[in-house]
Structure 1
């Protein structure tokens, strides 16, 4: 009985082993016959690549001027120069752009006497179409004298530069100081002086120009010229011998129109003899 029981167990084990072997052989055979399912293709994600906006190859030559007229994108410089008198309150740097630009793609810097002016430098602005645009600096007390440089960058590449000088007047030389434009005159003193970037409202009938005078001998020939949008206004300009003291505070001129001054950019130039001594600019809104 015991021997028969062992035989039965051995037989059962043998049958189980043969069955498992048959399964393994069958499995191997299926692999060998190539019946493995074809793998599904891996999906490639659809990537949208934005076409980069074109950068300008360069900026056009920079023009330095005290006055800019016109409208975006066709601004124009007036009285372009590279040397300006001490006391000038505003300077424009005008340049052409040959392709649209985002503000983060370019920047500008003003330098004076070898030092970068951080408060006069920064990233640009969106330029939506090719054309001419500008940057400017201003000071109600007159811009710093010395050698200046304006730089344009595309990324970190210097793309264009221009140099100009605000000349320091010689000690003892006659001068007209910075011109201040005001809304009114009270007892020969300015009322509501406007900063160089502050326009006068539409309908303004009169603007007063105040300036200090120094070392100007009596009877010295001097002249004043008013212009609007780059065109001289002959009937408001003139010349004569100096009638005041050698030193005067708040000497004044004015420009007016009882019907309301035309909108535009106004410029006042003062000369001592034939030498340009001072420039002042303001605008009247439309």
Structure 2
């Protein structure tokens, strides 16, 4: 009887759960309950987890031909978020993308961790910073079938975040990536931190220097510390003529994670301004934004103290601004007027790259005259920006429109008063910003700008809707919680910064349990660990479901939490994630081996992603 049931199961092998049910049924027919074979669960090394977190990035041009390649690191396995270098996706000198849609093919690590990557997904660039040479990609489709829906479980792996600020010269550092095209496999090179590079001398280093070899294809890949944690993005020296010898450069993880968290926040589509959703566009055309006037700038090219009115006798007037979509060689021009009369103008060929922060300066040793100062900027003759600022008493008749100091809070009352106010918050999804309003008339243009660790993540322009408003509020929210870091809110009236406030989301408590993890592993013979078993069926039952209950239900598939089949080399990955700390019924079956059945198999509460489950089976 058992033989006949097994043969029938082979005829329906396209459904692994039916085959498993048939084999399990045979066991019960022959003698009832399972014999509990021990399942050997062993967690793999951090290196294996890091290897699985590294992907190949292939970038086509607009004709679909391969244009460039590099590597990437999976930062969020469930959402399919991948961190890489911008120069893998576009030209860092011009800011132009290699294809208009920002698309790339993604190759994932095979189960044996040795073979060529498996081209599986298409990803799209959803954020980038040319100056940092970083880009964020998100999986959007399948390579084999563009119309197919993405699976619930992408089968990807992430790794822990390390702290690049803790690195010292002499610490071990390893780089993982794909150095070539075609059948090239992943490479692992190891060395030490040889030093740090602070390009702008601001006290924060922009690069980790290492003797670890970084080949061009490794760009955008993964740099790990001795514990296997993410500490940086290796960047090939494609434009680093000033760095001699075999020293390679790695973008520090702390800097890369600020970019990543900010980009994710910007893609959350949950930042709200006065009840309306704000989201970021791609912004590929030339533009100027975040224009601020003041009397001095800092080493980051930003105005130190924003002003809408400078005092009489001021000798210096600066205007700082962010720019994007520029190309070197374009004609940049600007003109100052005072009370409508020309005061100064200049033009030059732009040479400061595609995006960044810059400033212009107007000065007089005798003191600038009182009046209304207006600046106009153009690029290749096309208007970019026009804004005004006053010096002295000009324009001060009547009440001046203004926003008062910002109070941050986790909640507000129905009439807009802050609840649980402060400047440091822990584990919050939403922060409200409440501020006084004076003399702002209906129809006045105003704008909000949110920054995360100094980088803009959300911005929205609007028109003030009512007169006689004394207080208002805006909020910032993200469904997964605001990331740890420093946040800044800037409020603009017209083109002038009217108010600024800051708050911090502090580090979450240590020991937070991982929400879900993949399950991977190898099936081997118990008497010969070198002999692996392909074709074994592995299933984890829903928590609380015993193997006996599953059998009594006629092997109801809805009782199965995750399942999979071992491939060549005995390697497998289950088709759904499981929860650390939960207990599952474990069933493993194969035609030629005794079934393995264990009730209440617990996934450790501190399980890494992926959780490695190695199973041994005994021949019949």
- TM-score bin (small chain): 0.3 to 0.5
Provide the TM-score with structure 2 as the length reference.
Answer: 0.19
Q: Which of these two proteins has the greater Rg computed from alpha carbons? A: 1
Greater RCO (Cα-Cα under 8 Å, separation 6 or more): 1
* TM-score with structure 1 setting the length: 0.40
